[in-house]
Amino acid sequence: MAPTSLEGLTLGKYRVLEPLGRGGMAQVYRAYHPQLDRYVAVKVLRSDLIEEGEFLARFQREARAIAGLRHPNIVQVFDFDVQDDIYFMVMELLEGDTLKAYMNTYRTRGDRIPIPDMVRILTDVLDGLAFAHSEGITHRDIKPANIMLTRRCQAVITDFGIAQILGATHYTISGALMGTLHYMAPEQGLEGHGDSRSDIYSLGIVFFEMLTGHPPFEADTPLAILMKHLNDPLPLPHSIDPTIPEPLERVLLKALSKRPDDRYQNAEEMATALRNAAAEAQITIPEHISLPISFAAGEPVTGPGAVYSGTAREQIAGASFAADDTDSSLGDRLKAGLASLGNNQAPDQNDPPIPGAVGLRSSHQDPAPLATLLSSWWNLLPPAARAGIAGGLTLLGFNIWAVMFSSATKGFVIYKFGWPVELFLVGIILCLMMAALNLVWLMIPAGLVLGNAVIFSYFSLTGRWGDWLFMWPLEPLLLVASLALTFSVYNQGTLKNEYIRKLTRLFCLGSTVGVFLIVAASILKGFLIVK
In the chain, the number of structural domains is: 3
Question: What is the spatial distance between Cα 443 and Cα 497, in angstroms, rounded to a whole number?
Answer: 12
Residues 512 and 456 in one domain: yes
84: domain CATH number is: 3.30.200.20
Number of H helices, E strands in the chain: 19, 9
141 is catalytic: yes
* Closest among 223, 218, 281, 221 to 251, alpha carbons compared: 281
Q: How far is CA 145 from the centre of its chain?
A: 18
Residues 6 or more apart in contact with residue 70 via CB below 8 angstroms: 76
- The one-letter code for the residue type at 194 is G
Of 46, 63, 93, which marks where a domain is finished?
93
Residues 108 and 63 in one domain: no
Q: Three-class SS of residue 462?
A: helix
Q: CA end-to-end span of the chain, whole Å?
A: 95
Residues 138 and 52 in one domain: no
Catalytic residue among 97, 124, 127, 141: 141
Question: Which string of b and e fits 261-291 if b means at least 16 CB within 10 Å?
Answer: ebbbebbbebbebbbebbeeeebebbeebbb
Residues 188 and 322 in one domain: yes
- Averaged over successive runs of 10 residues, the pLDDT of the chain (531 residues) comes to 70 88 75 90 75 60 76 87 83 86 85 92 95 86 89 85 50 43 83 83 94 86 81 87 91 92 93 94 88 46 35 35 46 55 45 35 40 52 67 78 69 70 87 80 90 88 84 89 88 70 86 86 69 50
- Identify the domain containing residue 101 by its residue range: 95-380
Q: What local confidence, expressed as pLDDT, does residue 320 receive?
A: 32
Residues 6 or more apart in contact with residue 25 via CB below 8 angstroms: 45, 46, 49, 162, 163, 166, 178, 326, 328
Residues 310 and 435 in one domain: no
Of 359, 380, 401, which marks where a domain is finished?
380
Residues 193 and 205 in one domain: yes
Q: How far is CA 349 from the centre of its chain?
A: 27
Residues 6 or more apart in contact with residue 421 via CB below 8 angstroms: 398, 402, 414, 453, 515, 518, 519
Residues 180 and 272 in one domain: yes
Residues 110 and 76 in one domain: no
Of 340, 364, 380, which marks where a domain is finished?
380
Residues 6 or more apart in contact with residue 493 via CB below 8 angstroms: 250
Residues 53 and 191 in one domain: no
Residues 208 and 269 in one domain: yes
Q: Three-class SS of residue 98?
A: strand
- The one-letter code for the residue type at 426 is V
Residues 239 and 347 in one domain: yes
Residues 145 and 75 in one domain: no
Angle among Cα 267, 269, 270 to the nearest 5 degrees reads: 65
* Closest among 373, 358, 66, 356 to 184, alpha carbons compared: 356
Q: What local confidence, expressed as pLDDT, does residue 123 receive?
A: 95
Q: What local confidence, expressed as pLDDT, does residue 352 receive?
A: 40
275: domain CATH number is: 1.10.510.10
- pTM of the full structure: 0.58
Q: What local confidence, expressed as pLDDT, does residue 124 receive?
A: 95
